Structure 1
Amino acid sequence: MNKSALTLALAVTLAGCSLTPDYERPESGMPERWVPAALQADTGKVASIPAAELGWQAFFRDDHLRQLIGIALENNHDLRIATLNVEAFRAQYRIQRADIFPGVSADAAMSRTHTPEAVNPLAAGTNTQYSATLGLSWELDLFGRVRSLRDQALEQYFASEAAQRSAKISLVSAVANAWLTLQADQALLKVSQDTLKTYEESLTLTQRSFDVGVASALELSQAKTAVESTRGALSAYTRLVAQDRNALTQLLGGPVPAELLEASSLGDDLLAEVPAGLPSDLLQNRPDILQAEHQLRAANANIGAARAAFFPRIGLTGALGFASGELSDLFGSNSDYWSFTPSISVPIFNAGRLRANRDYAEVAKNIQVAQYEKAIQVGFREVADGLAARATYSDQVQAQQNLLEASEEYYRLAERRYRGGVDSYLNLLVAQRQLFAARQQLIGDRLAQLVSEVNLYKALGGGWLADEPQS
């Protein structure tokens, strides 16, 4: 009995062995700091607060937008699926972890058998047996196979959590961009309505001038052309507004409250400032990069399980209980029994299956390394694009604002000259169209600027926190 205890203790000591390769994080190849070209000359402007710690409720300042995001986080189906995936991987990890510990079971049974005299005259009759047994089964994880599978399941669980955060970031940014697009299209619709009203008034005046012989048929035709083209634009923006609302309905997972769809100006107070220059290692806070790294760790652990499959598997099975022909004597002094059955399974020939499994695990790890490096490169580009957009959109929007003011002045002068009979209607029509185009372009540029800020916030790992600090 002492020898068995010593053997068991030795086996437990050897169970600390593992064939899983040591994990080494691949080189990221990223620069030391994220600094846009516009800030390289002035390092004092480099921010030190990561965007991941700027919660979306603080970043988005419009109350209607915050309410829409809150509804989406509660009802969006894609986010719900991601959350359920986390629960599923958590359960799988718990299942795999349970294999490390011994399995204990308690059983009770009663059996009655009748043997005819024609079969066995000496044992003929009806026999009854009662039993109560406590069973134990355990695989000695000498080479770390079970623990490697547990580690793999754990990393898959962590990867699913990162995927959930990534889905939340994507949802927050998608709702914000959809809402901003709706606001821009509503503004464009309003501009089209105002422009159409101006064109219709001009057509009425031109029609009167034509009726008295002052305006030519060409000028009348030009006025009609301007009206009809603007009506076409009005129909297009009406359609876009409806489609934008449908997109929000899908993202929110249900009807959108009408009061949250009211038109709002695309002003400078919609979004908070996103930190511009950040240490490059903060990209490790991006959930998609964390997800790729956890999947890489899972593939690394799977190699250990594949290697351990080449070695023997040792199992211990035991039972301790009572058996008696009478229920009243089941726990008597002479009814106890026990059994101990160690077993060992050694792979001898499997037509190369184990070697193929090991090769597959190593190839799968190399695939995950490539996926991890790709995730970093994607993050690098998204942040770089966002910083480049920030450095240029401000000047672009200001230039378009100046162009709009000049177009308004051009339109006023052209209208005054046409009404005074100094200039032709063609110059007035050109001024009207230029003013309409300048208004449209300014709204489009402002929308692109806001969307780029939202995308930069997302690229830097922000959006999955509310107002609580990052843990």
Structure 2
Amino acid sequence: MKFKSLPVFALLMLSGCSLIPDYQQPAAPVQAQWPTGEAYGVQGDQRSIAAALPEARKFFKDPALVRLLDAALENNRDLRIAAKNVESYRALYRIQRAERFPTLDGEASGNRTRLPDDLSPTGDSRIDSQYQVGLVTAYELDLFGRIRSLSSQALEKYLATEEAQRSVQIALIGDVATTYFLWRTDQALLELTEATLTSYVESLAMIESSAAAGTSSELDVRQARTLVNQAQAQQALYTRRIAQNVNALQLLLGSKIPTDLPQNLPLAMSAIEKVPAGLPADLLLNRPDIRSAEHQLMAANANIGAARAAFFPRISLTASAGSASSDLDGLFNSGSDSWSFAPKISVPIFNAGKLRANLDYAELQKDVGVATYEKSIQTAFREVADGLAARGTYGKQLSAQSELVDNYKAYFSLAQQRYDQGVDSYLTVLDAQRELFSSQQKLLNDQLDQINSEVQLYKALGGGWSVSQN
């Protein structure tokens, strides 16, 4: 019975074993539900909307922005670097995977040696020649899974890099969108400032005329001139910011902004598709940074298997077959066949604790990977929660700010009427005009913040560009 079981034992040994620890996905270190409260509003049920999350071409409805996104995904240098990193890690995986198979090389060699008189058995000097040609193969028996562990580690690192590329792509989409909306907002603020400046200049001219006629004071003139100066400063500010926005966009695009952009949509929430409502339980699984962190964790887990296997013997087989002769002409004659077979076993005996330290390092790196993976989940949870809080409050904030603008318009109209009727001084008109201008600026900035909050929520949910349409 013992002898009959030997073939089975040999097959099991040749098939190898794995010393990689069983992988268990760490539990998510966050609560099971999203935060609730007054800031979050009504979030709906807990259904999954991961499949319903629109890809970027449908999420952003502004045709000019979609055109810019296409250009950025084609030319952005950070995205190119990420793509090249993926190709590099794919090549490293192929290199490591090749270690699991035997190598086969063709070799040819020649050697001529002169023996002096005192070393020759015959006492006469002579020249010995040897020529050889053949095939050489080498293979390591991976009995303890060292090579397979390293191959698994390389595969997981490659997969992690693929997910990292998606993270770069999603970040690029978000950066282009936020910069574009900032550009559009600054353009609107510049138009508002220039229109207000024109009104301020007209008011200043009127007050200066009144002062010359003795019906207005020097205080009125100074107040009107102050508003003109403030508006001029704002005009210079927004002119500079628009130029900087263009520079930022061109850096993200990797090229100049196209001159034939489609007509853009009015700057409002209609420029983007609102992320579906509801509180999905599995939306964090869409995050490529979380998937990348888990692949890095699995790579560290596989590296433990390789570190464990280093404690066991390594068996390598080297064999060659070919033809050998002392004469080059007789290299392929009958009887010149030659072969060799050289098995080798290497057993670690003493290495001053190197292997133990290497295993400790591998286990510590896995602990680091667990903490990194958990931190990525916590970060994602915080970003989604922030987005939900923004969604629950920006609507009320914009509504109140819009009503404030309407009130200041009425205030300015009433102040103008009272001045025309001689009831109030022109300072009241200037104050109303200044407050109206400030409230209109605040409304535009609040609209920008609301749009950006939806973009950030879309990113936090793992939204991105449709790969099939790249």
TM-score by length of 2: 0.93
Q: Deviations over 1:295-340 (max 9, x none)?
A: 0001101111111111111111111111123344323331111111
- Mapped pair 1:164 → 2:171: no
Show the counterpart of 1:25: 25
RMSD, aligned α-carbons:
2.4
CA displacement at 1:82 relative to structure 2: 0.8
User: Cα deviations across residues 35-75 of structure 1 (Å, max 9, x unaligned)?
Assistant: 8657886746x664326852111111111101111111111
1:67 aligns with 2:48: no
Between the aligned partners of 2:401 and 2:105, the Cα distance in structure 1 is 77
Q: Give the letter for the 1:27 counterpart.
A: A
Q: 1:109 to 1:467 in 2, by over 3 A?
A: closer
SS at match of 1:106: strand
Q: Which residue of 2 aligns with 1:383?
A: 384
Match of 2:331 in 1: 330
Which residue is equivalent to 1:97?
Answer: 97
Match in the other structure for 1:303: 304
- 1:341 corresponds in structure 2 to 342
1: distance between equivalents of 2:53 and 2:328?
A: 68
Q: CA deviation at 1:245?
A: 1.0
Q: 1:52 to 1:26 in 2, by over 3 A?
A: farther
Provide the C-alpha distance between the structure 2 equivalents of 1:40 and 1:208, rounded to a whole number of angstroms: 55
Q: Which position in structure 2 is the counterpart of 1:276?
A: 277
* Paired amino acid for 1:105: D
The worse-fitting range, judged by mean Cα deviation, of 239-248 and 260-269 is 260-269
Report how many aligned residue pairs link the two structures. Answer: 464
1:338-359 per-residue CA deviation (whole Å, 9 max, x = no partner) reads 1111111111111111111111
Q: Letter of the 2:63 partner, please give it.
A: D
* Identity percentage of aligned residues: 51
What's the counterpart of residue 112 of structure 1?
Answer: 112
- Using the TM superposition, give the Cα deviation of residue 117 of structure 1 relative to its aligned residue in structure 2, in angstroms: 4.8
Unaligned runs of 5+ in 2: none
Check the 8 A contact 2:50/2:282 in 1, yes or no: no
Partner of 2:420: 419
Deviating more after overlay: 309-318 vs 161-170? 309-318
- 1:180–1:42 Cα change, 3 Å: closer
Q: What is the CA–CA distance in structure 1 between the aligned matches of 2:60 and 2:368, rounded to whole Å?
A: 38
Deviation at 1:383, TM superposition (A): 0.4
Q: Secondary structure at the match of 2:17?
A: coil
Q: Could you say which residue in structure 1 is the equivalent of 2:131?
A: 130
User: What is the letter of the counterpart of residue 434 of structure 1?
Assistant: E
Instruction: Summarize the Cα distance change of 1:157–1:466 in structure 2 as closer, same or farther, 3 Å threshold.
Output: closer
Q: Which amino acid aligns with 1:77?
A: R
Partner Cα separation in structure 1 for residue 9 and residue 131 of structure 2: 35
Q: What displacement does 1:128 show?
A: 3.7
Other-structure match for 1:438: 439
Give the whole-Å Cα distance in 2 for the aligned partners of 1:127 and 1:353: 46
Paired with 2:108 and 2:416, the residues of 1 have a C-alpha distance of 101
1:261–1:184 Cα change, 3 Å: farther
Provide Cα deviations, 1:388-436, integer angstroms capped at 9, x if missing partner.
Answer: 1111111111111111111111111111211222111221111011100
Q: Mean Cα displacement is larger for which, 168-177 or 310-319?
A: 310-319
Counterpart amino acid of residue 78 in structure 1: D
Letter in 2 for 1:71: A
Q: In structure 2, what residue type is equivalent to 1:130?
A: Y
Answer yes or no: is the 8 Å Cα contact 1:145–1:306 preserved in 2: yes
- Asked whether the equivalents of residues 152 and 298 of structure 1 are also in contact (C-alpha less than 8 Å), the reply is yes
Does residue 373 in structure 1 map to residue 374 in structure 2? yes
**2:450 match:** 449
CA contact (8 A) 2:204 2:224 kept: yes
The amino acid of 1:69's aligned partner reads L
Q: For residue 438 of structure 2, what is the amino acid of its counterpart?
A: A
2:268 is the counterpart of 1:267: yes
Structure 2 residue aligned with 1:312: 313
Counterpart in the other structure of 1:10: 10
Query: 2: CA distance between counterparts of 1:255 and 1:236?
Result: 23
Counterpart CA distance in 1 for 2:251 and 2:262 is: 14
Checking the alignment, whether the CA contact within 8 Å between 2:269 and 2:447 is kept in structure 1 is no
2:396 equivalent in structure 1: 395
Task: Report the Cα offset of residue 236 of structure 1.
Answer: 1.0
Task: Measure the CA separation in 1 of the matches of 2:298 and 2:52.
Answer: 24
Tell me, what secondary structure is at the counterpart of 2:282?
A: helix
Q: TM-score when scaled to structure 1?
A: 0.92
Secondary structure at the counterpart of residue 57 of structure 1? helix
SS in 2 for 1:109: strand
Structure 1, unpaired ranges of 5+: none
Equivalent positions of 1:188-203 (< 5 A) are 188-203=189-204
